[in-house]
Amino acid sequence: MSLGALIVVVAFAVILVIGAVHYTGGSGQKDNRDPGEVILEFARAYPGEAIRSVTMTKDGNASFLRLADGKTGFMQSMGRHNVARLILPGDVAVQPIGDQPGLRIEFHESTLKGGDYVFESAEDAAEVSLWLCGGFALASPALDAPEDNGNA
């Protein structure tokens, strides 16, 4: 076999291997984030916040954290970096996505532009929407006190 033919065969074999790896998904970056990792990353950014639960999007690039004081934590992966943010009820506009179990979220007065966030189930999307809209409001002493109608 001549040297030229050997070079062509080796080059073809290398291209074939690279193509096989690419088409089987071996070249894609795997993001195997889990809720524990999200909790650790968020606690590093906001050490004083008590986290009650975590709901991740289907692709794992964004996570919403229910916090103990009625706020919502937000973690979003942007390449190799993460953005952590506290969201107060009313700081966002939330709409359902029609054909998927997800939410379209627009951040008010923020550098985050928002977007569509798809979850594993409609229940996860509904729960996160309650967090963002203030559905889990903390009890106020004024609301818990009995009304005084002049009947003392």
Structure tokens at 7: 């070079």
Structural contact between residues 92 and 132, judged by C-beta atoms closer than 8 angstroms: yes
pTM for this predicted structure: 0.67
What domains does the chain contain, in order, with CATH numbers? 35-133 (2.30.29)
Average pLDDT of span 42-60:
92
Q: How confident is the model at residue 31 (pLDDT cuts 50, 70, 90)?
A: low
Label residue 32 by pLDDT band (50, 70, 90): low
Average pLDDT, the chain: 80
Mean pLDDT of 2-18: 86
First to last CA, the chain: 108
Position 123 scores a pLDDT of 92
* Inter-residue contact 67 to 50 (CB < 8 Å): yes
Does the pLDDT at position 45 exceed 90? yes
Res. 27 pLDDT band, cuts 50 70 90:
low
How do residues 61-111 score in pLDDT, each as one tens digit? 899 999 988 889 999 887 778 889 998 877 888 889 888 899 999 888 767
Contact 70, 97 (CB under 8 A): no
